[in-house]
Structure 1
Amino acid sequence: MPATEYQGSFLGRISIRRNQIASMDGNHEQDLEDLEIFQKHVADRFSDLLSASDATADASVDPLLSIAWLRKLLDVFLCCEAEFKALVFMGRDPSHIARPPLDRLIPELLERVVKALDVCNAVTHGVESVRHWHKLAEIAVTALEQRPIGEGQVRRAKKALSSLVASMTVEDKESINSKATERAWSFGRRGSKDRIAGQFRSLSWTVSKSWSAAKQIQLMLGNIAAPRGAESTGLASPVFVMSIVLSFVTWTLVAAIPCQERSGLPTHFPIPRQLPWAQSIIGLQDRIGEDWKKKEKKGSAGLLEEMQKMEKLGQSLIEFADSFHFPAEPERVEEVAAQVTELAETCRKMEEGLGPLQQQIREVFHRMVRSRGEMLDILDQAGKVSSPIM
């Protein structure tokens, strides 16, 4: 069943059942069943992402960390987030949220959301850098598609590709966003939400040059702990699942797309391997983490599949330009033509996918803003319910 279909089925099930039940206190078995379904959906969705990334020989499959694959990842996040809210909050007495351990875990999750919002902003700006590289690659493709290939076309292609490769391989801290240190960021601490005409908007200030995407991810992962004992069958469990999903998705975006200061990006997640829903996430994390360790040593701009292809093809075509003499040997022209065709196809995918990806990141951002506001309201209600009457 497609993700959106079983998401709708799950949300409908919870809505109907909780409308029929006045009190949830004596309904632990139903909660356990809903928790099991939620965890199964998480497992199935990430298993699909892992399986797709393994099918490298199938040209119709979206490679791991390609633009199309990242869009599927964001779809998975949106589905998981909607089901999480339904499971933990829909139809529940706010006083349940005021009880341990949720009185601690929900505020901690909200702090992770704050950091994830800033990461989304940084990644959105990173997509703009990718768009610039895409334009440079298109210049090179247009020049090298000319026939016959002359010295003028080769010089123009080399200039564009040299700028492309140089900007993609310098250290993140010294390159990406170094010219744009003032950006619109999300929130401060709890309670700093702003509603205008029923809509949330970001708060803006000057971001420090020392802001670090890697540090944000480290802080998101720092206090995540799997629930134990009785907590493992209660609402602490879906909060843990959602914390991991949120952290994994933002970590993946940071690894794939250039953004400010990624040196030291963590590659370990605090997930017990025996949890059935966690196996596919761990598998993806292991694969991406290994690739990141290799790329980080080179100061690479990121792991986005299209960017890696662009970098590899760009370097090869620069070598061709360096040794070019008119007229070029027919065999060499044929080899270069194949590389130019591949680069043109990469550019096409970027042209079609970068805009929708950027829009989807914004959608995730605004969904988290709304959800955070809703959860803050519930926490406020829970605080009033639990406060003693004077």
Structure 2
Amino acid sequence: MSPTDTHVFFLNRISIRRNQVVSMDNNHEQDLEELELFQKHISDRFTQLLPTTGEEETLTSDDISDQMLSITWFRKLLDTYLCCESEFKAVLIIGRDSSQFSKPPLDRLLPEHLDRTVKALDICNAITNGIEVIRHWQRLAQIAVDALEQRPFVEGHVRRAKRALNTLLMSMTGEDKEQNAHAGKSAERMWSISRRGGAGGAVALPAVNHNRRAIISRSLSSNFMRSWSASKQILAMTTNLAAPRGGDSTGLGLPVYLMSSILVLVMWTLVAAVPCQERVGPHFQLPRHLVWTQPMIVLQEKIGEEWKRKEKKGTSGLLAEIQVIEKVAQNLVEFAEGFDFPVGAEKADEVAEQVAKLAEVCRKLEVGLGPLQLQVREVFHRMVRSRAEVLDVMDVVAKINTHVAC
């Protein structure tokens, strides 16, 4: 059964079972079965994101078509998040007695999860800005490709390529802050968040009068302050993120903890790959005794190994396509600095091979960044809608409790 079929089957199964009239004992057994199945789906999906033994050897190669941390891989990661999120809502809300939301541990865990969601919305906005920066890098790389594809090599073409590549490398190391800021502002204009809908992809939030929802608009409608940090935002998301114990480990506290963990992991991985002001911080700790955490822990460790191997000190990120651009750009700058006309046949072939690699990765970015950006936007919208749905249930419970107290 494909992941999509499994996802649809799971949602249908919960919907049908919750509509059946059964005893309290059967209800408890069904809840345990659903939680177990939910955890299995999480484990299976994240296991599919891990490279196989043979694929691990390709992480350092230039073949990035489907390798870990490539654009294709990140689209799979975001698909995984969206599937997990919809199953989480099914477990938590569909056919559920809403009075449980006002009882421990949900009365504490749900507000904490919703607060993490608001922080994740900020990170999605930063990722969108980062994708615009990568577009800027792709344009600079394409200038170099166009110049060095000219034959024969002449000083004017090489000089033009060198200027573009030096600007590219400066931008990747964070030295060209003005250019990066300009690219980021174009994304902010396109992705501005406000209560008004409108052009440029603005998000229309649900028309409700609720202070907790208004924080989304306030949080993302303005430009990021210089003191804003994606790593600190993720660190704040891990506050109070602890695995449920005792009786809570088999209750509704478990799926809330699980979904919060997935949310933090996905945001942490995005920040590691896409330029977001700084390098990613240390990953958060997941309990090793839970089956569904094992593939997530392996994923964290592999990304951490990539950071150590590359010894990153700048802001370029771990996206596989970025790594190829940086490597090839450095090689071509060395050629440009030592350029002497005429170029020998052997050297010309070597440069042509490097230019072909750069042209190919530019093509991959041209094709892949748009769909990736749209997917980040879909994740953003899904989080806004899901947050509103949970708040609606909590509002209903609050009104019932107020009426009973009166």
Whether the TM-score (by the shorter chain) exceeds 0.5 is yes
Q: Take 2:305 and 2:20, find their aligned partners in 1: how far apart are those partners? A: 49
Alignment-mate amino acid for residue 17 of structure 2? R
Segment drifting more, 308-317 vs 173-182: 173-182
Instruction: Summarize the alignment of residues 1-150 of structure 1 with structure 2, pairs less than 5 Å apart.
Output: 1-21=1-21, 27-51=27-51, 55-56=55-56, 62-150=66-154
Segment drifting more, 363-372 vs 177-186: 177-186
Is residue 244–residue 253 contact of structure 2 (8 Å, CA) maintained in 1?
yes
| Aligned CA distance change for structure 1 residues 4 and 329 (closer, same or farther; 3 Å) | same
Alignment-mate amino acid for residue 195 of structure 1? P
Q: Per-residue deviation at 1:248?
A: 0.4
**Unaligned 5+ residue runs, structure 2?**
196-203, 209-213
Alignment-mate amino acid for residue 90 of structure 2? A
Q: Per-residue deviation at 1:26?
A: 5.4
Which of these residues, 266, 270, 273, is aligned with residue 281 of structure 2?
A: 266
Q: Per-residue deviation at 1:39?
A: 0.5
| Aligned CA distance change for structure 1 residues 108 and 172 (closer, same or farther; 3 Å) | farther
Please give the per-residue CA displacement for 1:336-369, whole angstroms capped at 9, x wherever unaligned. Answer: 1111111111111101100000000000000000
Alignment-mate amino acid for residue 272 of structure 2? A
| Aligned CA distance change for structure 1 residues 111 and 180 (closer, same or farther; 3 Å) | same
Q: Per-residue deviation at 1:209?
A: 1.6
Q: Take 2:29 and 2:22, find their aligned partners in 1: how far apart are those partners? A: 16
Is residue 55–residue 61 contact of structure 1 (8 Å, CA) maintained in 2?
no
Q: Take 1:4 and 1:160, find their aligned partners in 2: how far apart are those partners? A: 43
Which of these residues, 227, 230, 246, is aligned with residue 263 of structure 2?
A: 246
Question: Identity over the aligned pairs, expressed in percent?
Answer: 56
| Aligned CA distance change for structure 1 residues 172 and 275 (closer, same or farther; 3 Å) | farther
More helix by share: 2
SS of corresponding position for 2:165: helix
Is residue 138–residue 344 contact of structure 1 (8 Å, CA) maintained in 2?
yes
TM-score by length of 1: 0.91
Are 2:353 and 1:349 aligned?
A: no
RMSD, aligned CA: 2.6
SS of corresponding position for 2:405: coil
Alignment-mate amino acid for residue 32 of structure 2? L
| Aligned CA distance change for structure 1 residues 296 and 120 (closer, same or farther; 3 Å) | farther
| Aligned CA distance change for structure 1 residues 158 and 350 (closer, same or farther; 3 Å) | same
| Aligned CA distance change for structure 1 residues 72 and 107 (closer, same or farther; 3 Å) | same
SS of corresponding position for 2:51: helix
Q: Take 1:25 and 1:384, find their aligned partners in 2: how far apart are those partners? A: 29
SS of corresponding position for 1:195: coil
| Aligned CA distance change for structure 1 residues 130 and 180 (closer, same or farther; 3 Å) | closer
Is residue 130–residue 184 contact of structure 2 (8 Å, CA) maintained in 1?
no
Q: Take 2:281 and 2:368, find their aligned partners in 1: how far apart are those partners? A: 28
Q: Take 2:247 and 2:178, find their aligned partners in 1: how far apart are those partners? A: 49
SS of corresponding position for 1:251: helix
Residue-pair matches, total: 382
Are 2:220 and 1:212 aligned?
A: no
Alignment-mate amino acid for residue 239 of structure 1? V
Are 2:401 and 1:378 aligned?
A: no
| Aligned CA distance change for structure 1 residues 77 and 54 (closer, same or farther; 3 Å) | farther
**Unaligned 5+ residue runs, structure 1?**
none
Instruction: Summarize the alignment of residues 290-305 of structure 1 with structure 2, pairs less than 5 Å apart.
Output: 290-293=305-308, 295=310, 297-305=312-320
